Amino acid sequence: MSGVGRIGTIVAVCVSERKGEGKRDVGEGMLLEGFGLEGDAHGGDWHRQVSLLSKASIEEMRRKGFDVGPGDFAENLTVEGLDVWGLPVGTRLRVGLNALLEVTQIGKECHTGCAVFKATGSCIMPKQGVFARVIKGGPVRKGDIVRVVDDDKE
């Protein structure tokens, strides 16, 4: 994990009612074991229960002139200070005091008609979006710490 910090901070907690649309920042939520973020259209019994994106990725798009912010890339958790795209599959993340996530996928293909791609001609999720499953649930809110954990210490 060279060059990747081990601690970050949640700057947005985002949900959407339907797949294929940007998410809105609701400030806090509940990560449900084996499901994802409560009330989010992408929750379910699969490997992409929660999506994460680094704030730095959003800032990169803003520098290119796009008016985007947390949730616009349909991520559930926007994280500052931790370059999530550099985490290998299998990495475990402690979110807040209780929740535990496991990284299951780095990047994804943009689906046909991706709202971000239509608006900007570009999307960062294929290379910089990270997906995880919820190993242990718990509350999540803006300001919570996200940290990489070692299996042998947790």
pLDDT at position 3, please?
41
- Residue pair 1/13 in contact (Cβ under 8 Å)? The answer is no
pLDDT at position 2, please?
40
Gap between the Cα atoms of 71 and 21, Å rounded:
9
pLDDT at position 61, please?
83
pTM of the predicted protein model: 0.86
- Residue pair 111/129 in contact (Cβ under 8 Å)? The answer is no
Q: What residues contact residue 94 under an 8 Å CB cut-off, 6+ apart? A: 100, 145, 146, 147, 149, 154
- pLDDT tens-digit map of 61-117: 888 888 889 998 889 999 999 999 889 999 999 999 999 999 999 876 555 555 555
pLDDT at position 147, please?
97
pLDDT at position 125, please?
56
Domain ranges across the chain: 9-153
- pLDDT tens-digit map of 129-148: 899 999 999 999 999 999 99
pLDDT at position 22, please?
81
pLDDT at position 127, please?
62
Q: Which CATH number fits domain 9-153: 1.10.10.10, 3.90.950.10, 3.30.70.20, 2.40.33.20?
A: 2.40.33.20
